[in-house]
Amino acid sequence: MAFSPALTRLIDALRVLPGVGSKSAQRMAFHLLQREREGGRYLAQAVEQAMASVQHCKACRMFTDSELCDICSNERRDATLVCVVESPADVMAIEQNTDFTGRYFVLLGRLSPIDGVGPSELGLDILRSRLADGSVEEVILATGATVEGEATAQYVADLARQHDAGISRIAHGVPIGGELEYVDSGTLSQAFSGRRPF
Amino acid sequence: MAFSPALTRLIDALRVLPGVGSKSAQRMAFHLLQREREGGRYLAQAVEQAMASVQHCKACRMFTDSELCDICSNERRDATLVCVVESPADVMAIEQNTDFTGRYFVLLGRLSPIDGVGPSELGLDILRSRLADGSVEEVILATGATVEGEATAQYVADLARQHDAGISRIAHGVPIGGELEYVDSGTLSQAFSGRRPF
């Protein structure tokens, strides 16, 4: 005996979501069917519409419903500053927590030859053409502080250097509010080697 | 700055799923958009179809695409035995792991007056009418071994008694393969008070 075809298909389909295995998928399906039919219908529509209409910004690869994202089409954003990040979530984090007024370039990943992610998967030809037109004065590297993030930053820096753009890397060190005692060794040694005049 | 409308709506809609907060919803949305457009479309269709076609079996409240579920419409299943469980997942667990050949009644919950779950929310009027026609000889109580599960079992037992049906409760005790040392105290005391001639 198995679940009905529509329910089996629902459980199976929910497994495309990251971190959702068969038990969670079953729990989600039961929840939708027992308590959230309306929410389920809303979910179906939202997923369908997003799959059809969300695309990548032609200039920065951010998710958008149009050719250009809100930031790239905003004339008041400083086009001479380009902050390079790994994911759309990073853009949101920077927008919500800093007063950065430049533009972005979203790699949608990081260099990882083992996983087949090279410069073209990261859309670096698009970034190259933005650099080539000479309007970018500074590239701010905001990729993650991981081995792959550093390698990616290095690669993007080389690219920027070829086009005579200035290059900076966001600061890494002890987090604000962090107690030295509890900071991991890599961060602490980075904080020392990156010390600045006070 | 916010995400595009379609993306914002997608993230918001994913939060109807149980256990999914705003961070997970964002991660799921990015995953679908970056790597699983096809899977996303399949998900949208599966959810929509399930919301429209999955209903509850008229006899046992199991999820089904028809009036009666596969078990209730199977003449070879013993209609004199009715196993009462809390959820559709329990039916699947029993079907997959036991040789029970009777039928089921799915409460879709357990008695919990605090949460407003009383006998009518559990469909007990449907069970009552199945008992009233006299075909049920034994009600097997397979609700959970929790306080609410026990209270629910007690209530269903009273109902069965009123209709002169036999009543049994699935056994509770030390799990097979379990070391006594690691069994919790409630289970162990249950195993002692429920000991049987060897």
- Rounded CA gap, A153 and A159, in Å? 10
How far B4 CA lies from chain A's nearest CA (Å)?
Answer: 5
Cβ–Cβ gap A43/B40 under 8 Å: no
A26 CB neighbours in chain B (<8 A) are 89
CATH architecture of the domain with range B5-53: Orthogonal Bundle (1.10)
Nearest to B26 among A16, A37, A89 (CB): A89
* The pLDDT of residue B1 is above 70: no
Contact yes or no for A136/A178 (Cβ under 8 A): no
Domain B77-169 fold is Dna Topoisomerase Vi A Subunit; Chain: A, domain 2 (3.40.1360)
Nearest to A32 among B39, B47, B53 (CB): B47
Q: Look up residue B135 and give its two tokens.
A: 């075909």
With 0-12 / 13-18 / 19 or more C-beta atoms within 10 angstroms meaning exposed / middle / buried, residue B128 is: middle
Q: Does domain A76-169 have CATH number 3.40.1360.10?
A: yes
* The pLDDT of residue B178 is above 80: no
Q: Which residues of chain A have pLDDT under 70?
A: 1
3-class SS string, chain A: CCCCHHHHHHHHHHCCCCCCCHHHHHHHHHHHHHHCHHHHHHHHHHHHHHHHHCEECCCCCCEECCCCCCCCCCCCCEEEEEEEECCHHHHHHHHHHCCCCEEEEECCCCCEHHHCECCCCCCHHHHHHHHHCCCCCEEEECCCCCHHHHHHHHHHHHHHHHCCCEEEECCCCCCCCCCHHHCCHHHHHHHHHCCCCC
Q: What is the pLDDT of residue A35?
A: 86
Instruction: Provide the phi-psi class of A189: left if phi over 0, else alpha when psi is between -120 and 50, else beta.
Output: alpha
B63 CB neighbours in chain A (<8 A) are 3-4, 7, 30, 33
A95 CB neighbours in chain B (<8 A) are 1
Q: What is the pLDDT of residue A176?
A: 85
Q: What is the pLDDT of residue A178?
A: 78
Domain range list for chain A: 76-169
ipTM: 0.81
Q: What is the pLDDT of residue B148?
A: 92
How far B21 CA lies from chain A's nearest CA (Å)?
Answer: 13
* The pLDDT of residue B77 is above 80: yes
Cβ–Cβ gap A24/B27 under 8 Å: no
Token pair 């107690």 is found at A179
Q: Which residue has the higher pLDDT, A55 or B187?
A: A55
Share of chain B above pLDDT 70, in %: 99
Nearest to A30 among B46, B66, B88 (CB): B88
Cβ–Cβ gap A10/B47 under 8 Å: yes
A50 CB neighbours in chain B (<8 A) are 6-7, 9-10, 29, 32-33, 40
Q: What is the residue-averaged pLDDT of chain B? A: 91
pLDDT digits (tens, 9 = 90+) for B101-146: 999 999 999 999 898 999 999 999 999 999 998 889 999 999 998 8
A107 to chain B: closest CA residue: B34
**Confidence grade of residue B181 (pLDDT, cut at 50, 70, 90):** confident
